[in-house]
A and B are shown apart, each in its own frame.
Chain A
Amino acid sequence: MLTDNFILFVQIMSDIQIVEAPPGVEGSGFFATSIDKAIGLARSYSLWPLPFATSCCGIEFMATMASTYDLARFGAERMSFSPRQADLLMVMGTISKKMGPVLRQVYLQMAEPRWVLAMGACASSGGIFDTYSVLQGIDEIIPVDVYVPGCPPRPEAVIDGFMQIQKLVQTESVRRRSSPEYQKLLASYGIQ
């Protein structure tokens, strides 16, 4: 009976999926790969999001965080409300012109590397509110990496957007943030 349990244990342990190792050189006691890939792997599976929830998409995000569509299994376990400790800024909901400077200040307070996910139609382009008081898309004030359309997007769509961010993180070069193209991008938004 002890051996039966042991066999069962081995079976269960071998069903666990672990992340594939990046391509590299393997030997006895060492594994060599490029730093980009190793760091990208570590970062993408431990992104700390900042939920910048303003309206209805915020409630759909709460549903994504809850147990049915658990976002924590993708590594986003710790929601950081302080920008200084967050990697990913998830803007969820309509941003009005009064809120624009606040969003920009939160973005500026984040440390590099930082990514931005615009969730919902309002954050991507102003949504159904083409009015005098609504900012027509947050990419007027901050650079955005992934747009998730929907009004509100289903939790599966949010998870898909999050996985796109993970892909971006995995394939990003370590030198990107100090490269001239990136500096030019930030300068076009007026960010030094």
Chain B
Amino acid sequence: MQNHPVFTDNDPQTEYSTLNLGPTHPATHGVFQNVLTMDGERIVNGVSTIGYIHRAFEKIAEHRPFYQITPLTDRMNYCSSPINNMGWHMTVEKMLGIQMPKRVDYMRVIIMELARISDHIVCNSILGVDTGALTGFTYMMKYREHIYEVFEEICGSRLTTNIGRIGGFERNFNHIAFEKIRSFLKIFPPNLKEFEALFNRNRIFVDRTKDVAAVTAETALSYSWSGPLLRAAGVDYDVRAMEPYSSYEDFDFEIPVGTNGDVYNRFLVRNEEMWQSMRLIEQALNKIEKEDPNIFHADVPEFYLPPKEEVYNNMEALIYHFKIVMGEVPTPHTEVYHAVEGANGELGFYLVNDGGRSPYRLHFRRPSFINYQMYAPMSQGMLLSDAIINMSSLNVIAGELDA
């Protein structure tokens, strides 16, 4: 592997050097490799190699019952696992035709928006770190701990949450959880404002990110981009607005849209989405207060696992528990596609069922995988430092890339 150019007599610029970027990355973005052909600092060509963390999720899903696939979905986009969990539950509920009570929908909205905030915190602060600004990262990671405390209060786990069940939640949110959510909504906004004050009009940051990797809307659509990347390019496609799920139609929120799709726009779009997420959480908290506080799951005993006290004391609950776990409940012979707005884009679940306990075929439409394929064509002609910033702003999560 050459990493310095060899000069010939005729023209010293005609020899290209090869630089291997990854898979062990200095910046912990994940394990993927780019072999770059460089002309000095400028990238001439790049070849991406992925699959270094391929764990065969789709194959595993064919061998697991529906409720055991939730921990698998956790580990796809592990920075915002509750969104994956909720998306999977909604897919199965769509297939089974279960209608969720409003309170459960609002609880789901709170969880999903907290997860979206936590993912955007990571993405934006790591983008700052890649430009050299470590302060933003150090201060913002503290607020991820607050979000982790909320998740821990609700489901017991911090990162790979496995929140919820098919049919609702496993237990109601207790008052401590609500207090923690409210306190998060109080303490986070001043710090997000501080973070924005540090970066948005910082001359160095703007110079490094403005007009870097600008993408037109046509190119973005042709590469099937979605999520904050597509919105930064100017297309206002958000699954929550277009095909509302989990009662998003009851909420009042805006979709931030950028202009030219460069790294600066993506940063601003993600920041603004965090503000909108907080708005959604506040509205959800207000709406929950008006509902019956004891509802936390749909009334579907054939699919929702009964609580353990009832299983040990009640005959019907025991029978339902047995039937659900052993897969004796017949499921429809059909196929369904359901999409949710993940932190990176449209996260889709294509489920083909043959009536048994496990899916016949489950395919995840993973936004990081589809967004990342444009990276190699996009980095042609870029400077190396711009290419690193570009990769950081694409927010590629390796678990979702390889599945």
Contact = CB atoms under 8 A, between A and B. Distances in A.
Given A96-B53, A132-B56, A134-B56, A55 B141 contact: no
A129 interface: yes
A180 to B, nearest CB: 32
Interface stretch (A19-27, A31-39, A59-67, A163-171): A59-67
Contact of A93 (B53, B60, B141): B53
A67 B138 contact: yes
Interface in B162-194: none
A93 B60 CA distance: 18
Contacts of A152: 158-160
Nearest to A58: B28
A81 B24 contact: yes
A53 B30 CA distance: 7
B148 A54 contact: no
A188 interface: no
Contacts of A81: 24-26
A145 to B, nearest CB: 20
B141 A54 contact: no
Contacts of B15: none
A117 to B, nearest CB: 16
Contact of B159 (A56, A68, A94): A56
Which size bracket describes the interface of A in this complex?
20 to 34
A128 B73 CA distance: 12
A99 interface: yes
Contacts of A56: 74-75, 78, 159-160, 399
B56 A131 contact: yes
Main secondary structure of the interface of A (DSSP, over half): loop
B322 interface: no
Contacts of B324: none
Nearest to B72: A128
B295 to A, nearest CB: 31
B235 to A, nearest CB: 30
B141 A66 contact: yes
A106 B24 contact: yes
Contacts of A151: 160
A102 B399 CA distance: 18
Nearest to B118: A59
A152 B151 CA distance: 14
A164 to B, nearest CB: 22
Given A66-B141, A68-B142, A60 B55 contact: no
Nearest to A60: B159
Contact of A102 (B24, B30, B159): B24
A152 B81 CA distance: 13
Interface of A: 51-56, 58-60, 62-63, 66-68, 81, 93-94, 96, 98-99, 102, 106, 128-129, 131-134, 151-152, 154
The 5 A-B residue pairs with the shortest CB-CB distance, nearest first, are A66-B141, A56-B78, A131-B56, A81-B26, A99-B52
